[in-house]
Structure 1
Amino acid sequence: MHFNIPDLNLFIHVAEASSLTGGARRANLSTAAASMRIKSLEGQLETRLFYRDSQGVELTPAGHDLLVHARAIMRQVDYIKDEFSQYAEGQSGHLRIFANTTAVSDFMPDVLARFLVDRPGVTIDLQERMTHEIVRGVLDGSSDLGVIAGPVKDAKKLQVIPFSVDRLVLVTPHDHELAREAQVSFRQSLGYPHIGLRETSTLFQFLKSQAQEAGVDLQMRIQVYGFESACRMVSRGVGISILPRSIAHRYADFMNIHTVDLADDWAERERSLIVRELDALPKCGKALVEQFQNLTEH
């Protein structure tokens, strides 16, 4: 049995007006069209819903029963419309975001906090992933948005939205011999023990690949689980590290660390959002993209 929502709505109008003509008028239908649809509804239910006479119409017992159910159904339809109108307005919704290590640890907490505090009905699933996993996740639909740094593979299949610049720098103790240099190459730094992030971080994997391209081993003295831990290790003289400049400057105010620019072209990497189709995002997703675009460059 198939119920048509407009037919149920028409049935309610006719019942409340006690008139086929009056109900048709409320439903913006002709009387003939309304009569045909009511008869079709009675045919589906295999029962009479109205007694008809020259004065109008009156509900049958079956009609009374249907009116109770029809009103409940229409209330539920109204609830659904109301709930999804909030999604359409960007006040409700759920977004899954895959992002690299720097994004998750550095700027995204602040960005998402500002975004979520004004949208109590929005929830976000933020996951740290490797760059290739971020791209694949957006392509296959398992992620709504991706946040990466550097060139984007499969860019022709995605919309790439740059929003800021991420510059990697060498971080040393103040008394380290490389701290006297105005600029050093990554290859120069590889002659010293490094402090790196964990194996699964996007930054570690990126630096590992750059060392392999240079044909030099990346000497890891220790691998830690966060940028602050890396800076603390550097400040104690354990080794040197390659970190985002914005993060190093944050800890330089109260730790014994110094930053040196890297001469390598890849040290400056463009940060981008990637999406399959911006227009297909829910309104809350589009609002988040706009907030990213308003970020100031680090």
Structure 2
Amino acid sequence: MLFDLTDLRLFIYIAELKSLTRSAERIHMSLAAASSRVKELESRFGMRLIYRENKGICLSPAGETFLHHAQQFMQQVERLTSDLQQYNNGIKGYIRIFANTTAVTEFMPEVLGAYLAKYPHVNISLEERLNQGILRGILEGTADIGIVAGPIHNQGLEVINFSTDRLVLVTAVNHPLAAIKKISFAETIPYEQIGLYEGSSLHHFLNQIVSESGKTLRLRIQVRSFEAMCRMVETNVGIAVMPQSAALRHSHTMQLSIVELDEPWAVRERSIVVQKLDNLPLYARELVNFIKAYPSSKAAP
């Protein structure tokens, strides 16, 4: 045989981590053994699969093709294993999820709590990424399930719409904008604003909207969570744009005013993205069903 499962796992890690040393550590293998396996693969196929550069390892065109098939092969192996395990001592597996800020902070904790109560033998990695990073992760096989908001080009991926994400403006109850029922985003730009941290998907999205208008957002402070945003808003440090579900939840314990944003982009479809749903292991397909069905994943009207 030209390769075994260890070869495939090692090569997938090399493509993900861009480092032979880190990939060897991840798979609990010596650097010499990992290097020998890659050289043996290249020798058997008669072509280069990787190139070593100053910034790390990159794949050759042949390596990219090998990676694509390795990822598909390992997904099939994982699905076979998981589907058979359900007849033994319960499902066991590992799911990698890339999701946007709202999903990670607002509804995925509840979804995963309910899911893991039913499937306690499944381990999950949940990482916050921007939309493009989520799609790239699914395409490259570094994530099994992606959760995005807004229009996307499916790039041959399977896209499952499951709810609507509405962005709103949140102000203190005594703020000049608090009594307005509906407002355009342009009307909010002159005011000091509270934003999420650099790198969050919401911060990136709003920056794109502002840059397209040729204006600059007056960010007074950036924080790590929607709760922190609402606390700052409540004390009149500034106003904030955030998901309606988060604003409503925190309005139960804080003095906040919620104003509708009169913008077409304020209403965004939430979607689950996978390479192919039928190719996911049974326990991963079950998690997709949990996300689609769980009430807290639905935005408030």
Q: Does residue 1:106 correspond to 2:106, yes or no?
A: yes
Aligned to 1:157, what secondary structure does the other structure show? coil
| 1:295 shift after superposition | 3.0
Distance 2:218 2:199 in 1: 17
Q: What residue is the counterpart of 1:145 in the other structure?
A: 145
| 1:156 shift after superposition | 3.9
Give the TM-score, by structure 2 length. Answer: 0.69
Q: What residue is the counterpart of 1:29 in the other structure?
A: none
- Fraction of identical pairs, as percent: 44
Count of aligned residue pairs for this structure pair: 217
Give the TM-score, by structure 1 length. Answer: 0.70
| 1:82 shift after superposition | 9.1
* Contact kept in structure 1, 2:232 and 2:238, CA below 8 Å: yes
Q: What residue is the counterpart of 2:174 in the other structure?
A: 175
Aligned to 1:94, what secondary structure does the other structure show? strand
Q: What residue is the counterpart of 1:235 in the other structure?
A: 234
Q: What residue is the counterpart of 1:275 in the other structure?
A: 274
* Contact kept in structure 2, 1:163 and 1:272, CA below 8 Å: yes
Per-residue Cα deviation, 1:91-144 (whole angstroms, up to 9, x for no partner):
221100000111000000000110011111111011111111100000010000
Per-residue Cα deviation, 1:230-283 (whole angstroms, up to 9, x for no partner):
000000000000010110111111212110000000001010000001111000
Give structure 2 stretches of 5+ with no counterpart: 1-79
Distance 2:196 2:188 in 1: 16
Give structure 1 stretches of 5+ with no counterpart: 1-80
Per-residue Cα deviation, 1:31-57 (whole angstroms, up to 9, x for no partner):
xxxxxxxxxxxxxxxxxxxxxxxxxxx
Q: What residue is the counterpart of 1:3 in the other structure?
A: none
Show the 5 A alignment for 1:118-137: 118-137=118-137
Distance 2:260 2:170 in 1: 9
Q: Does residue 1:186 correspond to 2:185, yes or no?
A: yes
| 1:164 shift after superposition | 0.8
* Contact kept in structure 2, 1:87 and 1:284, CA below 8 Å: no
* Contact kept in structure 2, 1:87 and 1:93, CA below 8 Å: no
Show the 5 A alignment for 1:79-118: 85-86=84-85, 91-118=91-118
Q: What residue is the counterpart of 1:28 in the other structure?
A: none
CA RMSD of aligned residues (A): 1.7
Distance 1:189 1:82 in 2: 53
Q: What residue is the counterpart of 1:165 in the other structure?
A: 164
* Contact kept in structure 1, 2:158 and 2:274, CA below 8 Å: yes
Aligned to 2:177, what secondary structure does the other structure show? helix
Structure 1 stretches of 4+ with a deviation exceeding 4 A read: 81-84, 87-90
| 1:85 shift after superposition | 2.0
Counterpart code for 2:198 = E
More off after superposition, 211-220 vs 85-94: 85-94
Answer with 1 or 2: which has the greater Rg: 1
